[in-house]
């Protein structure tokens, strides 16, 4: 089982609020990037890169400050020094393989339910932007954001900080509440159910391995598989 973390609730809330602020700012800039079709492709790429990558870098800096406040190293904080690294990576890869068909099925189910109740399923903003990319460089940027930056940042914030903080007060509330919060943070009704299930799997993975590398890897491979599927759809539509 995952050992208790020394996170102070007030500082965890501060970190999460700062993370949300950085993401909201990135989304505002990204929307401007998507909508400003008059810009040259190079300018569009620059705006996108700054909005997405800078927000993630800022979040990492905030996490570093958070850890310094608690006088804990990155390895101690997130279990990067745990033994049996091979087992950790194997379990991370295995969970990603198992959860992918479940996630795809739940996404399809959610879309059908929304249509049944008279609501048209909306495409996630990052997915829409990726489909509208006009160059290989933009696709690479979207891929890096989805496969590397997002899994690392989201796992640190949600599984590494929020989950252990809430768990001290309510283990069940931490499992279900943080998972649901993780899904809702993606701001799309179609993915709330599949991402909630994904988050629960990732939490159990973190509890089992006590190393955040496991859910980071599983999350990254899950996103990578979805990114490849989107690329294939994009190719077939052209």
**pLDDT single digits (tens) 68-92:** 999 999 999 999 999 999 999 999 9
C-beta of residue 91 within 8 angstroms of C-beta of residue 205: yes
Does residue 196 fall inside a structural domain?
yes
Does residue 4 fall inside a structural domain?
no
Does residue 104 fall inside a structural domain?
yes
Least confident of 11-15, 18-22, 132-136: 132-136
Does residue 182 fall inside a structural domain?
yes
C-beta of residue 33 within 8 angstroms of C-beta of residue 50: no
Q: Which two tokens stand for residue 140?
A: 């690479």
How far is it, in rounded angstroms, from Cα 112 to Cα 115?
5
Please tell me the predicted confidence (pLDDT) of residue 226: 93
Q: What is the pTM of this model?
A: 0.91
pLDDT digits (tens, 9 = 90+) for 178-189: 999 999 998 899
Please tell me the predicted confidence (pLDDT) of residue 55: 85
Across 223-234, average pLDDT: 89
Number of structural domains in the chain: 1
Domain containing 230: what range? 9-237
How far is it, in rounded angstroms, from Cα 76 to Cα 205?
18
Please tell me the predicted confidence (pLDDT) of residue 49: 67
**Average predicted confidence (pLDDT) for the chain:** 88
Please tell me the predicted confidence (pLDDT) of residue 26: 75
What is the H or E stretch that residue 59 is in? helix 41-70
Does residue 210 fall inside a structural domain?
yes
How far is it, in rounded angstroms, from Cα 97 to Cα 48?
30
Across 212-216, average pLDDT: 98
Does residue 2 fall inside a structural domain?
no
Q: pLDDT confidence of 232, banded at 50, 70, 90?
A: confident
Does residue 3 fall inside a structural domain?
no
């Amino acid at each position: 089982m995952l050992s208790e973390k020394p996170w102070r609730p007030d500082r965890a809330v501060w970190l999460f609020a700062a993370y949300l602020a950085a993401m909201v700012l990135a989304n505002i800039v990204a929307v401007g990037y998507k909508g400003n079709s008059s810009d040259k492709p190079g300018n569009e790429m620059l705006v996108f890169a700054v909005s997405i990558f800078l927000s993630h870098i800022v979040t990492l800096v905030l996490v570093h400050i958070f850890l310094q406040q608690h006088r804990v190293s990155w390895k101690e904080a997130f279990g990067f020094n745990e033994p049996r690294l091979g087992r950790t990576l194997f379990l991370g890869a295995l969970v990603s393989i198992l959860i992918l068909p479940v996630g795809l099925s739940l996404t399809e189910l959610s879309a059908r339910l929304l249509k049944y109740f008279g609501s048209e399923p909306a495409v996630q903003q990052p997915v829409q932007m990726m489909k509208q990319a006009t160059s290989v460089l933009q696709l690479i940027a979207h891929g890096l954001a989805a496969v590397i930056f997002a899994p690392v940042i989201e796992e640190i914030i949600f599984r590494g900080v929020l989950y252990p903080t809430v768990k001290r007060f309510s283990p069940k509330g931490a499992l279900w509440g943080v998972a649901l919060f993780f899904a809702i943070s993606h701001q799309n009704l179609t993915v709330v159910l599949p991402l909630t299930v994904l988050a629960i799997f990732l939490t159990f993975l973190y509890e089992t391995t006590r190393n955040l590398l496991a859910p980071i890897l599983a999350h990254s491979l899950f996103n990578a598989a979805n990114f490849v599927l989107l690329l294939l759809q994009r190719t077939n539509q052209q």
